[in-house]
Amino acid sequence: MSLPYRHIALIGLGLIASSIAHAARRAGFEGRITGTARSAETRAEAARLNLCEVCDTPEDAARGADLVILCVPVGAMGAVAQRIAPVLAPGTTLSDVGSVKARVIEEVGPHVPEGVHFVPSHPIAGTEQSGPASGFAELFDNRWCLFTPLEGGDPQAVADLRAFWEGLGARTEAMDAAHHDLALAVTSHAPHLIAYTMVGVADDMRRVTEQEVINYSAAGFRDFTRIAASDPTMWRDVFLNNREATLEILGRFTEELFALQRAIRTGDGDHLHAYFTRTRAIRRGIIDAGQDIGAPDFGRAVARKTGDRT
């Protein structure tokens, strides 16, 4: 599948941006890929990897591009959009990869120049790794990329961006921004916060039990630590910019947790068995949908291609 752009600009050069570059080349893209990152160290690493044409500033990376993708933490997107606005030509598509959509639209929208097509998007793909060296071409294969098109936006710009992500291996779907943020609070944001909390509790326990928490970690706790190793800046911004939906889901989680706590305290085995049976079916549904595999993975031999999605 040919990609419908000549010049792609990646603002931010972490896991998602580097994977976009690799996946685009795998798809046969022969145009320009420019990119930049905030730190000189990251830019130097991207240059060593020959990831793209590395530029010193967002303005230099975005100038002349017909697709500009914001791959920075959601809290920085508004400021970056303001910086690059003067160099965006009419007809350019501006997009992003943030896992929060309503706040990104609110922050970026006012800086989009006349004639530039802003199409918010979110590839639900990732691992706990970060940085230019962490990307790989297969990251988006069979993963969903969600779009939250703006009312009155250009349909062709949306269609072209869909074709781009499908060319990178993703499946695509459009939805309302508020619905997106609630859905991701369930499937990603609240689980990450719970993982951070469990690892924090275990760290407190480790001070009492010395190395036991580390030495005897079973698969469940290892998964928590893998998720909790995700980029702290990105996740700080996710929670601050999707606070309402996340707090709603955490409230529901607390109610469920209290019900399980009560069942354990009162010895209600029927309640626990029925609950675990119902939740076990969710795992089967994820496997049947092709979003993970059912093979045993002790040691994470296949973690590179089946990491947690953001």
What is the rounded average pLDDT of the residues 180-208?
A: 81
Indicate if the pLDDT at residue 1 is higher than 60: no
Element at 93 (helix H, strand E) = strand 93-96
Indicate if the pLDDT at residue 26 is higher than 90: yes
Indicate if the pLDDT at residue 162 is higher than 70: yes
Q: If DSSP codes are grouped into helix, strand and coil, which group holds residue 45? A: helix
Give the pLDDT of residue 302.
45
Most confident of 93-97, 194-198, 218-222: 93-97
| Cα distance between residue 190 and residue 239, in whole Å | 9
More confident residue, 261 or 280: 261
Give the pLDDT of residue 217.
62
Give the pLDDT of residue 178.
95
- 60-113 pLDDT, tens digit per residue, is 999 999 999 999 999 999 999 999 999 999 999 999 999 999 999 999 999 999
Superfamily of domain 179-288: 6-phosphogluconate dehydrogenase C-terminal like domain (1.10.3660.10)
Give the pLDDT of residue 62.
98
Superfamily of domain 7-175: NAD(P)-binding Rossmann-like Domain (3.40.50.720)
Tokens 């710009």 sit on residue: 157
The amino acid sitting at 148 is T
Strands, E assignment, the chain: 7-11, 32-36, 53-54, 67-70, 93-96, 117-118, 121-123, 144-147, 171-174
- Domain borders along the chain are 7-175, 179-288
Nearest to 205 by CA among 196, 214, 192, 194: 214
**Global pTM value:** 0.81
